[in-house]
Amino acid sequence: MSDAALAPQRVLVTGGAGGIGLAITRAFAATGARVHIADPDVAALTAVTASDGAAITGNVCDITDPQSVASMFADLSRELGGLDVLVNNAGIAGPTAPVDEFAREAWDAVLAVNLSGTFDVTRRAIPLLKASPAGSIIVMSSLAGRFGYPNRVAYATTKWGLVGFTKTLALELGPFGITANSIHPGGVEGERVRQVLRGRAEMSGRSVEEETERAMDNQSIRRFTEAADIAALAVFLAGPHARTISGQMLPIDGDSKAAQ
């Protein structure tokens, strides 16, 4: 076995201090990887890096700000000495409104994070990944990146856009041995999906339990996905058994039939 195969992976996770991103951060760290997280939440990032020892480092980083991204990569290079895995997880949902009532400022804000920020991080990561013996890029899309999503036009547009972005990366970077795949979660177990269901109940006049049943009726597997399962999929896609999996969209959503 080569020294490269024995070396710990060096991983960057954007939005890595909370939610799915935190689950991914900790899943990679549990394998022995060295993980650097980029997150705008000062308190969350400080808590994660303080509690998880030297395996997890990080920067407060706004991926819509090129200077912030450049500073983060300077710190990453100093901390990790290179990069093997990029997990583009950072993203925002934006408001809920029909297209004709959707504010241009809100549209611009969602695209700035989900598309332009992801682009900027990735373009800066590529030279480091080309130097890796087994580079991987993982892009967090969504169920909304496979279906239309009423009243969530900016979010759905960006999540579809990330699919084209990922497939282009796979074509361009395959000759360098770098894989690129997108993960498409549906409803993820936790407070966020419960909050969504409470909001739907308030709008519809139905109970939270009724809204939960309606959500489950959309899926073949009647339960929400665990963040830890999404994290395990990310670790697999960056691992040795996935070196020929690239350019793929991987749903993890209970076989959902629509975004709703």
Is 259 domain-assigned? no
231 within a domain of the structure (yes/no): yes
* Residue 2, pLDDT score: 44
C-alpha to C-alpha distance for 47 and 204, rounded to whole angstroms = 38
Please check whether residues 44 and 72 belong to one and the same domain: yes
Domain range spanning residue 32? 3-187+226-251
74-118 confidence digits (pLDDT tens): 999 999 999 999 999 999 989 888 899 999 999 999 999 999 999
My answer on whether 172 and 244 are in the same domain is: yes
pLDDT band at 5 (very low <50, low <70, confident <90, very high): low
pLDDT tens column, 29-75: 999 999 999 999 999 999 999 987 789 999 999 999 999 999 999 99
**CB 118, CB 141: distance < 8 Å:** no
Same domain, 108 and 202: no
pLDDT attached to residue 103: 96
Percent of the chain that is helix, strand, coil (3-state, to 5): 55, 15, 30
Are residues 232 and 119 part of one domain? yes
Residue 218 located in a structural domain = yes
Average pLDDT of the residues in 167-187: 95
Q: Which of 149, 155, 160, 165 is catalytic?
A: 155
Taking Cα atoms as reference points, which of 90, 209, 104 lies closest to residue 154? 104
Closest CA to 20 of 199, 187, 170, 136: 187
Looking at residue 3, what is its pLDDT? 45
**d(Cα 254, Cα 118) in Å, to the nearest integer?**
26
Same domain, 82 and 147: yes
pLDDT over threshold 50, residue 250: yes
Q: Nearest-CA neighbor of 253 among 119, 87, 101, 141?
A: 141
If asked whether residues 115 and 175 sit together in one domain, one would say yes
Q: What's CA 81's distance to the chain center, in Å?
A: 23
230-245, pLDDT tens digit by residue? 999 999 999 999 999 9
In the chain, the number of structural domains is 2
Whether residue 106 is contained in a domain is answered as yes
51 belongs to a structural domain:
yes
For the cut 50, the answer to whether the pLDDT of residue 20 exceeds it is: yes
Q: Nearest 5°: phi and psi at 110?
A: -65, -45
Residues 21 and 75 in one domain: yes
pLDDT of 191 > 70? The answer is no
Asked whether residue 101 falls in the same domain as residue 203, the answer is no
Whether 257 is in a domain gets the answer: no
**14 — alpha (psi -120 to 50), left (phi > 0) or beta?**
beta
258 in any annotated domain: no
96 lies in the same domain as 198: no
| pLDDT value, residue 152 | 87
149 an active-site residue? no
Domain match, 243 and 198 both: no
Residue range 193-238, pLDDT digits in tens: 767 767 667 766 788 777 777 777 777 777 778 889 999 999 999 9
pTM of the model: 0.91
Confirm whether 29 is domain-assigned: yes
Whether residues 118 and 83 share a domain: the answer is: yes
Which residue carries 């959902």 as its tokens?
A: 256
> Does 42 share its domain with 162?
yes
**CATH number, domain containing residue 156:** 3.40.50.720
